[in-house]
Amino acid sequence: MQSDILDDLVSLPAGYAVLDSLPYPIIIIDNNNLFVWLNHAAEIFFNSSLAILNRSSAEDYFTSNSVLIKMISRVRLMKSSLSEHSVSMTAPRLKETIVNIQVGLFNANDEFIVISLQKNTLEQVAKSRTLFKGAALSMSKITALLAHEIRNPLAGIKGAAQLLELELGKENQELSHLIVTETDRIIKLLERIEKLSADKPLQLEEINIHEILDHCLMVIKASYGKHLVIQRDFDPSLPMIYADRDLFIQLFLNLFKNASEATEENDNLIIKTSYALSTPHSTSDQYGLIHLPLQIDVIDTGSGISPDLLGYVFEPFVSNKSGGSGLGLALVASVVSEHGGAIDVSSSVGKTHFKINLPISTKIKNLKSINHNRDKS
């Protein structure tokens, strides 16, 4: 029956037999979003057959507002492939399953869309989140030991910058003021670590993620990132979020510093923000099960992370650099975890990609009042 259907698809490229042999589900739909072909793995996955699904509507099968249908629309609009990770998928004969989805154009005439699915179990998601929670606990102990020793040189740096600010002209005072501001922020962060335990609640406030990113990019452009070509791709429609401002600044400064150290003159640092269509989950005990739609991508075109270390880069004292402390990315994981978010990394020579997903949730918003009440008590 499959061959009869494919005989009608005169523009479908040859080689569908190769797709049929793949171990993961492959679906092909036409420009009306009707099923025209499934491989054997897809029939098993959906507990259905091509004979049943042939020429039925994908919008009816998955519901028109599903992540997959929205991805299909975006692929048609952008004329390029799209992928989403940890998407919750349901279907008439399919129990809720977490999958990674890839959607792309199947031929040059845009007549067909090809969809591939790879299962991502809840156990796998939970296992990856556990790494970040462990990193958060380890980092709280490490930074507590280092805080006192770091504060002393910071006081000297701040005093020197304030003296310079008095001597400099207005055109250079912005940079000296930046030194003072950043020093105050770091001292505040260290005081928090010194005086209180790791259980201290986050100092949440309403922030614009783009203001945080712009501030951090200004810092690196004035210091260790002068050699980078910075590209911003910000979604201006993103809502405000509740987060600890100082911790978020530290998070992105660490990521940008890593990128600067892995790159050479005129390499790119690309920062993207978006409202992700996928719905990955956090298993953090503090926040429960929540959506993580706000996405920040930090991409550099440097030397990449060693494949042997890629699975361990968020653990304390693991470093890709000679002489590195291995604390920067552990702190990044710690901050993301404390905010109920998720972070993933992929890397090869010429492209390292950190993807951070954060919640936009009333649960996070309500923590502001909780923290305020705790501070009063």
Whether 252 and 372 map to the same domain: the answer is: yes
Distance CA 119, CA 97 (A): 7
pLDDT of residue 83: 78
CATH number of residue 89's parent domain: 3.30.450.20
Last residue of a domain, one of 62, 90, 120: 120
Distance CA 134, CA 115 (A): 36
Whether 274 and 217 map to the same domain: the answer is: yes
Q: What ranges make up the beta strands (E) of 294-375?
A: 294-300, 342-348, 351-358
Exposed/middle/buried for residue 31 (C-beta within 10 Å: 0-12, 13-18, 19+): exposed
pLDDT of residue 361: 56
Phi, psi (degrees; rounded to nearest 5) at 129: -70, -35
Last residue of a domain, one of 96, 120, 144: 120
pLDDT of residue 212: 95
User: What one-character-per-residue DSSP string does 110-175 give?
Assistant: S-EEEEEEEE--HHHHHHHHHHHHHHHHHHHHHHHHHHHHHHHHHHHHHHHHHHHHHHS-HHHHHH
Distance CA 188, CA 179 (A): 14
Whether 264 and 164 map to the same domain: the answer is: yes
Whether 257 and 365 map to the same domain: the answer is: yes
Distance CA 222, CA 224 (A): 7
Whether 86 and 142 map to the same domain: the answer is: no
Last residue of a domain, one of 100, 120, 140: 120
pTM for the full model?
Answer: 0.52
Whether 229 and 206 map to the same domain: the answer is: yes
Whether 71 and 181 map to the same domain: the answer is: no
pLDDT of residue 315: 76
* Sequence-distant (≥ 6) Cβ neighbours of residue 195 within 8 angstroms: none
Ramachandran class of 312: left when φ > 0, alpha when ψ lies in -120 to 50, beta otherwise:
alpha
pLDDT of residue 351: 93
Under-50 pLDDT residues of the chain: 1-14, 122-123, 130, 196-198, 279-289, 362-377
* DSSP summary character for residue 246: H
Whether 191 and 130 map to the same domain: the answer is: yes
Q: Are strands 342-348 and 351-358 parallel, antiparallel or unpaired?
A: antiparallel
Burial 275-296 (b: 16+ CB within 10 A, else e): ebbbbbbbbbeebeebbbbbbb
Whether 143 and 80 map to the same domain: the answer is: no
CATH number of residue 230's parent domain: 3.30.565.10
pLDDT of residue 272: 96
Distance CA 261, CA 15 (A): 44
Whether 114 and 143 map to the same domain: the answer is: no
Q: How many domains does the chain have?
A: 2
Whether 11 and 67 map to the same domain: the answer is: yes
SS3 322: coil
pLDDT of residue 285: 42
Burial 135-173 (b: 16+ CB within 10 A, else e): bbebbbebbeeebeeeeeeeeeebeebeeebeeeeeeee
What is the separation, in whole angstroms, between the first and last Cα of the chain? 72
| Gyration radius from the chain CA atoms | 24
Structural domain of 32? 2-120
Whether 87 and 106 map to the same domain: the answer is: yes
